[in-house]
Amino acid sequence: MAKMEVKTSLLDNMIGVGDMVLLEPLSEDSFINNLKKRFDHNEIYTYIGSVVVSINPYRQLPIYSPEKVEEYRNRNFYELSPHIFALSDEAYRSLRDQDKDQCILITGESGAGKTEASKLVMSYVAAVCGKGAEVNQVKEQLLQSNPVLEAFGNAKTVRNDNSSRFGKYMDIEFDFKGDPLGGVISNYLLEKSRVVKQPRGERNFHIFYQILSGASEDLLNKLKLERDFSRYNYLSLDSARVNGVDDAVNFRTVRNAMQIVGFMDHETQSILEVVAAVLKLGNIEFKPESRVNGLDESKIKDKNELKEICELTGIDQSVLERAFSFRTVEAKQEKVSTTLNVAQAYYARDALAKNLYSRLFSWLVTRINESIKAQTKVRKKVMGVLDIYGFEIFEDNSFEQFIINYCNEKLQQIFIELTLKEEQEEYIREDIEWTHIEYFNNAIICDLIENNQTGILAMLDEECLRPGTVTDDTFLEKLNQICATHQHFESRMSKCSRFLNDTSLPHSCFRIQHYAGKVMYQVEGFVDKNNDLLYRDLSQAMWKANHSLIKALFPEGNPAKINLKRPPTAGSQFKASVATLMKNLQTKNPNYIRCIKPNDKKAAHIFNEALVCHQVRYLGLLENVRVRRAGYAFRQPYELCLERYKMLCKQTWPHWKGPARAGVEVLFNELEIPEEEYSFGRSKIFIRNPRTLFKLEDLRKQRLEDLATLIQKIYRGWKCRTRFLLMKRSQIVIASWYRRYAQQKKYQRIKSSAVVVQSYIRGWKARKLLRELKHQKRCKEAATTIAAYWHGTQARRELRRLKEEARNKHAIAVVWAYWLGYKVRREYRKFFRANAGRKIYEFTLQKIMQKYFLEMKNKVPSLSPIDKNWPARPYLFLDSTHKELKRIFHLWRCKKYRDQFTDQQKLIYEEKLEASELFKDKKALYPASVGQPFHGAYLEISKNPKYKKLKDAVEEKIIIAEVVNKINRANGKCASRIFLLTKNNVLLADQKSGHIKSEVPLGDVTKVSMSSQNDGFFAVHLKEGSGAAGKGDFLFSSDHLIEMATKLYRTTFSQTKQKLNIEISDEFLVQFRQDKVCVKFIQGNQKNGNIPACKRKNNRLLEVAVP
C-alpha cells in the first residue's frame, strides 16, 4: 500500500479560527471572542489574510526557540499555525528569491508589543540568512543597535515599562544572495519634553537611571554624579525603580552594545558626559533680582552645579551664566540685549536640556548609521522595519499626541490603499473578475491636518510666524474660523451651531474625529512646542565649548555662520519626514503586524474585552477582514488543494496523474459543490464562502477517520499473521534444540563410563611398572654409594698431604720477609732527619700539580667562544685555581676569535647588538632573526640592468634595498614597492618600472610602530606638516623587519643625532590625511603567505590579522 504523505496546515488542530477571513459569522463580537479563545490557549497570533494580529502576552512563551525558527524556515505562509516568524520568512524569501523590496509595518498603541515584534523580526532574519565572519559581524551590529537606541529613546510609561518614545524605521540592506550588508536607521519625533517633565507614574529615559545604577564609582566621579536619584530634579521619584528591570545590568549591556556597533572609547565617554550635563541642568535654580531701572532679572542660586556642568562640557562659566540671564535679539545690523526673568530663565534652561538631549539622540542615530551602513556600492535589496508609536488617546492630549495620531492616520491611509492594491493585483494576476469595494477613506482627516492652506499644521505654523502677540488661544480662534464647518472638527467656540451646546468640551480644547475615534486635544503648549525655540545666546555658548561633541551638536552657534532666517517648526519638519516615509513605503511590498494590548495592568492571562474591542475598532481590523472577504474568502494553489483533499474522491486517491487544476475540477465536481461558491484562477482555486471551506474540512476529517480505521484493520491482521508464523518457527526451533540436547546428554554418560574403566586399567598397569623400576633403581644406587665412599677416602688422604707441604713453604717465606725488612730499617736509620716529612709533602704536592697540568693539556675544550665545556676539578684544594684558569682561557680564546674579524663583520655585529637592545624580549619575531645575517642590498641594484634607471636617480650610497608590501590606507590591500634607505632619505619606487613614488627625508621620520607578534607589519610615522605627510603615515609589511628597523634607527641617529622612537604595541594610532585611525592586531589566518591580512572596519579602525 502506498504511504500517505501528511502535510501540516493552518487548518489542522485549529483553536478558534486561525485566519479571521474564515470567521463565520463575521461580527465584532465573534471577532473578539475568537481572539479571546486563542489568547486563553496561548495562541497570541492570528491572521487576517497576510496581516498578522499579535496580542501582547506580558510573559515569556516557548515559541521563539531555534527549533521554531527552523520549523518556519522556507515554509508556506499558511502551512503552519499563525506566527510572526511566518510573516518574517515570507518577506525575506520574497526579497531574496523574487528581488522585491519589502517593508514590515508594526503598529499598535503603547504597550502592545511593537518593539518586541520588531526585535523578533530582526532576530529571525538574522537566524535564517547566510553565515560567515563578515555576515555575522553585520548581523551582530544590526541587532546590537537596538539596546543603544532603547536606552536613549525608551522610557517607562503608565502603559508600558519599555515604551518607545520615538519612531524608528530601519532599512536592512541585503546582497543578491540574501546576506545582510548593512542598514540605515531613520528616527521620528523624539519626545524630548520627557527630559524635563514626566507624567505621574512614569520615568525619564532609561539611560539616566542606567548610568546612576550601573556606572562604577570612578566613572560617576568623572561625570560628577551621585548614585542617589533624589538628587536630580529631572528624575521622577515615584517610579524610579521598575519591577523586573535591572538598570545596572542594562547599563553594562548598553556599553557592550556600543562597543560592538563601533563606538570608540572616547566617543562613549563624550556621550555619557553630555547625558550627565543634561541631568545636572535640572538642578540649576534661579532667584529674582530687581535692577535699578525697575526690571526684574534672574540670578542663579547655587553656582556649584553650573561650575560642574562647565567643567564637564568645557564651557566658560561666565559665558553660560550670562546666556541664562540675558537674551540677545538681532535684526539686520542691530543687536538688542534683554534680561530674562525667572520664568524665562527656567524656560531657557529646559529648552537647552531638551535640545541638547534630542540633538545627542540624532547624532547617535547618525553615528550608528556610519557603522552599520553597507560598505559596498553594488545594487542592494532592502527590507524596511517600521516600529512607530501607535494611536494615543490620553486624558490630557497635547501637541505630541496630535503629531503621533497624524502619523497613524497616514499609516492607516497607506495600509488601506496597499491592501486593496495587493488584493486587486492578485485578482488580475489570477484572471478573476474584480469588483469595487466600499471602504472608509480617511484622506479627509489627513487633509484636515496637513492641507497647505487650511490644514491645522499650516495654521499652527502661520500663527507661530505671525508678528504680534501669539498665544494658544489665538491659535484656537483661528481654528474656529477656518475649520468650523469641517465634519471631523469640533470646538466649544466653533461657529457651527451643532457644537454650541456641547458642554463636555472645555473652552481651551478642540476635538478631531479620527479613524480610531474622537480625540480631544488641549491647545496649551501647541505654539511653544511647535516653535521649539532655543535662544541664540545658548547656541553660541554651546558652540564655544571645548567639548568636541557638544560643539558639533550646535553648528548654528558659530558666529561666522549666523543665519537670521527662522528655523523650520517641529510640525513642518515632522510633516516632511512623514511624507518621505510614505513615499519610501509605497516603493516596497508591505507586510503588516497589528499589535494589541490585552489589558492596562501589564499582567498575564487577563483579556479585557472592552479595551481590545476599542483597539480593534481604531486599527480597522474588521474593515480589513471585509475587504479581504469582499470577493473570495479563501484561496489556495491547486497543488496544495489537491494534496489536502484528494482522499475525498476515488479518482484522485491515492495519486492523481494529470495536471493539478484538472484534479481539483474532478474533486469539486465529485463533491457537488455549487459553481457560484468557487472560481478557478490561473494557479489558485478561489472559494467564496468560509462555509464551503469548513464543509471540505469536515469531509476530510471524516475521511481521515475512515482511512485510519482501514489502516488499523490491515495492520492488526498483518500483526496477528506475523505473530502466528513467528510462534510456529519458534516451536520447530525449540523441538530441534531439545532433541539435540537429549542425545548430547546420553552420549556424555556413555563416554564418562568408558573413561572410568580405562582409567582403572591404566592405573593398575602403571603401578606394576613402577614397582619393577623402583627395584632396579635401588640396586644401582647401592653400588654407586660404595664407590663414592671409597673415592672420598682417597681424596681426603691426598688433601692432608698437600696442606702439609704448603704450610712448610709459607713459613720459609715469612721468615725471609722479616729478615729483609730488618736489614732495610737498619740501613735507613743512618739517613733519616727531622725535616724529612716536609720534603715528602712538597714532593708529593709538586707531583700532583705536574699531573694536573699535564692532564689539563689533553682535556682543554675547543677555541669556540660559545663552547661552555670545561674539565671537572680533580682535587678540592685546586678549586680557585681551576676557576681562574677557566676564566683566563675564555678571555684568551675570545681575543683570538675577535682578531679574525674584518671591519665589515665588526659593523654587522654592532648592528646585531643594536637589534638585541631594541627588540629582545619585546618582539616575538626577534629570536628568528638572530641567526640571519643582515645583507641590506637584497636586490643588487647595481648589477641588475632592470634597475639601471633607479640606480642613476639615486646618487647616495644605498644602505637597504628590498621589496616590501605597502598597505593601502583606504582598503587594506597590498602593493609591492622597492624600499631604499640612504644616508639622508627613505625612497619608495615601483617594482616593475623602477620609478620613484615617494621620497622622505630622515628628519621627517618621527617614529616606527609595530606589534609584539610574530609578523612583519610596521608603520612609519611622519612629522605633521611635512611635505611627505600629505597622505599620512606609511604602512608596510616586510620579511626583514628587524634588519630594516635597526638600520633605519642607526642611520637616523647618525644623521640627526636623535634616537628614533621604536613603539612596540598591539594597538597604536596612525595619521591618514586628517583622520587618526587605530591599528589593532587580532589573532587570525593570513591569506597571502606571510603578508598580514588587513581590513578597514570603519573610518576609525584598521584590523590586522596575525597568526
Other CB atoms within 10 A of residue 941 CB: 19
Contact 215/175 with Cβ under 8 angstroms?
A: no
Question: Residue for cell digits 491515492?
Answer: 654
Residue 628 has which C-alpha cell?
Answer: 479581504
Closest listed residue to residue 268, CA positions, set 1105, 1100, 1011: 1100
Q: Is 253 a catalytic residue?
A: no
The catalytically annotated residue of 18, 108, 111, 262 is 111
Contact 523/472 with Cβ under 8 angstroms?
A: yes
Strand pairing category for 296-300 and 286-290: antiparallel
Closest listed residue to residue 366, CA positions, set 149, 563, 538, 180: 149
Closest listed residue to residue 373, CA positions, set 145, 184, 185: 184
Phi-psi region of 91 (alpha: psi -120 to 50; beta: other; left: phi over 0): alpha
The catalytically annotated residue of 160, 531, 624, 1037 is 160
Q: What is the DSSP string of 1087-1100?
A: SBTTB-EEEEEETT
Q: Is 191 a catalytic residue?
A: no
Q: Is 164 a catalytic residue?
A: yes
Q: Is 736 a catalytic residue?
A: no
Q: Is 1011 a catalytic residue?
A: no
168, β-bridge pairs: 187, 387
Q: Is 1014 a catalytic residue?
A: no
Closest listed residue to residue 305, CA positions, set 289, 321, 287, 325: 321
288, β-bridge pairs: 298
Contact 513/501 with Cβ under 8 angstroms?
A: no
Residue 857 has which C-alpha cell?
Answer: 693539556
Other CB atoms within 10 A of residue 457 CB: 22
The catalytically annotated residue of 392, 409, 450, 490 is 392
Angle in degrees, CA 673, 676, 681, rounded to 5: 95
| Rounded CA separation 226/213 (Å) | 10
Residue 829 has which C-alpha cell?
Answer: 736509620
Contact 140/372 with Cβ under 8 angstroms?
A: no
The catalytically annotated residue of 157, 164, 419, 692 is 164
1105, β-bridge pairs: 1082, 1093
Secondary structure of 295-346 in HEC code, one letter for each residue: CEEEEECCHHHHHHHHHHHCCCHHHHHHHHHEEEEEECCEEEEEECCHHHHH
Count of all residues that appear for the chain in the document: 1107
Query: Is the N-terminal amide bond of 25 cis, ω within 30° of 0?
Result: yes
975, β-bridge pairs: 966
Question: Residue for cell digits 535589496?
Answer: 381
Contact 1085/1105 with Cβ under 8 angstroms?
A: yes
Question: Backbone phi, then psi, for 896, in 5-degree steps?
Answer: -60, -40
894, β-bridge pairs: none
Residue 911 is which amino acid?
E
Q: Is 115 a catalytic residue?
A: yes
Name the burial class of residue 248, with classes exposed (0-12), middle (13-18) and buried (19+) by CB atoms within 10 angstroms of its CB.
middle
Per-residue DSSP letter, 567: P
The catalytically annotated residue of 384, 390, 557, 681 is 390
The catalytically annotated residue of 163, 371, 652, 689 is 163
Question: Backbone phi, then psi, for 79, in 5-degree steps?
Answer: -80, -30
| Rounded CA separation 30/719 (Å) | 49
Contacts by residues 287-296 (CB-CB < 8 Å, ≥ 24 positions apart): 287/342, 288/341, 288/342, 291/339, 295/339, 296/339, 296/341, 296/342
Q: Is 1043 a catalytic residue?
A: no
| Rounded CA separation 214/195 (Å) | 20
First to last CA, the chain: 61
Q: In what side-by-side order are the strands of the sheet with 509-514?
A: 489-491, 509-514, 517-522
Largest Cα span, the chain: 170
The catalytically annotated residue of 115, 187, 355, 1046 is 115
Residues serving a catalytic function are 110-111, 115, 160, 163-164, 390, 392
